[in-house]
Amino acid sequence: MTRKYNWKTGCDVEATLSVIGGRWKPILVCHLLDGRKRFGELRRLTPNATERMITLQLRELEADGVIARHVYAEVPPRVEYEVTEFGRSLEAILVLMQEWGSAFKARRLAEELEGEQSAKTA
């Protein structure tokens, strides 16, 4: 995948999003922050993502130095993924995203309940 981000002149937020801006990347990193995982385990943890998309996003995260891929010389072959030290620096950002998402969901739920109550009284 060719990236269009210009590292020399681009915005810092754009730099961050160029690394974690895939639909599944933040979720994959969150799962890997809990420890090493094999592909099958990541697949089970992200059931709405296709195998192809998980593979592509893992490759991009690896290319950016966020995760490391470990291949073991076993039969059958065993591959594990883990967050690198550099990738761990994303943990605070992901926690903030999680907190924001939780607040957003609570707000939406409150709005929905308020709308239902208004409809009942009207």
State how far Cα 113 lies from the chain centre: 30
Q: What pLDDT, in 10s, does the model give residues 1-38?
A: 445 667 677 788 888 888 999 899 999 999 999 999 99
Domain match, 94 and 80 both: no
- Supply the range of the domain harboring residue 56: 1-87
Q: What pLDDT, in 10s, does the model give residues 61-119?
A: 999 999 999 999 999 889 999 999 999 999 999 999 999 999 999 999 999 888 877 77
**Half-sphere exposure in the Cβ direction for 71 (13 Å, CA):** 2
Domain match, 77 and 98 both: no
Domain match, 6 and 53 both: yes
Domain match, 70 and 97 both: no
Tokens standing for residue 35: 């420890």
How many domains would you assign to the chain? 2
Q: Is the pTM of this model over 0.85?
A: no
